[in-house]
Structure 1
Amino acid sequence: MKEPTSRQQEVLHFITSFTELNSCPPTVRETAEHFSISVKAVQDHFTALRKKGYIAPAEGRSRSLKVLIDDPEFKRPKRVPVLGTVAAGLPVFCDENYNGCVYVPSSLIKEEGAYFALYVRGDSMKDAGILDGDLALIRKQEAASNGTIVVALIEDSVTLKRFFKEPSRIRLQAENAAYSPIYCQNVKILGVLSNIIRNY
């Protein structure tokens, strides 16, 4: 069986996870909306996966995909809650209400239940490769070493910055020369950056 490309594997993971959660496979349109790509691009991915033997049409059904996987190395993606928005700029209020979920490759998750995701807003971390609109995968923990990129809570706001503990204060450093550091005494670390997820 020919290996799928990385993007085809993401599509395959989505089909499998969607089917498990909804007891039916996703439509082409639902898949296109999930990946923010065109219907034509999804159809091309489906065609390639069919040719490689990973999916097949299910006769007599409007949602006509079934996954053909007998590979014991196949690992299902993990469901991670999205908890709102984090500022990569000036701090903004964090809405901690559950805001849906994202499916993440299991290879990125080391411990079940120990992760959450936040959408990035702003450009203060662009020199670290973190862009506005990215989805930041965060590992929950309350401590961090100097230089680690963290999600920090300052009063009722959260921000994504590089963390430095100085003798008498905390410095939250941007990765964009246009932004000044944030200095504070009381900071609660909510987690450290694990990965960035970006849709093209």
Structure 2
Amino acid sequence: YKNDLKTIEDVDAYLDEIYQREQKFAFKIAFDFGVIIERVDGQENDQQITYKINHPLEARTEIKAPTTIRTHLDLADYKQYIRNHIIQIQEKTIMDTKDNIIGIVSIMIQVFRLPHAGAGGGRIIPSLKKHIMRREIRYIDPEKNNQNLCFFLAYSFITMPDIKADVAADGSAIAAKRYKEHSHIAEAKRLFQRIYGKN
């Protein structure tokens, strides 16, 4: 939330701040404004004017399609989209002709981080594709897990690949071996400890 908007430059600065914070990730963004509404009741000679604030709501962000931000150009386009939305706000009345939006006082911006390519979609790493399809690899939120083993769990499928039943060059049989999930988790923890020296 940004509750002290005075100019469009305040919105731009807030968006720049979000972009700096999220620049390592592609992310989706949606917004809603908090506005002051003026209501005029009565006849011309006996008008009663009241004011109220409509705070930004998460439900109203869903009305506007979220936009994916990957680069500064995407951010510049989004800033223009917000400017166009402000123009629309200035031109319309709410509910009936007695209600007019007379000011924008706050903005709520929702940011949705997109998962990295690999487990979350997009370009799939070829050696991990079958494990993703079997749902053996899944996205783990690093903010909820202090030790993000997601990468190391994925890497364990390379260091401990499943072996298909086959016949060796000398004619002997090679038994099939498929590792269980807990074996991959143990391998992921071992790899993590080897790299970072933590348990």
Normalized per residue, which structure has more strand?
Answer: 1
Larger RCO, structure (CA 8 Å, separation 6 or more): 2
Query: Please, what TM-score do these two structures have when normalized by structure 1?
Result: 0.27
| Higher fraction of helix | 2
TM-score scaled by length of structure 2: 0.27
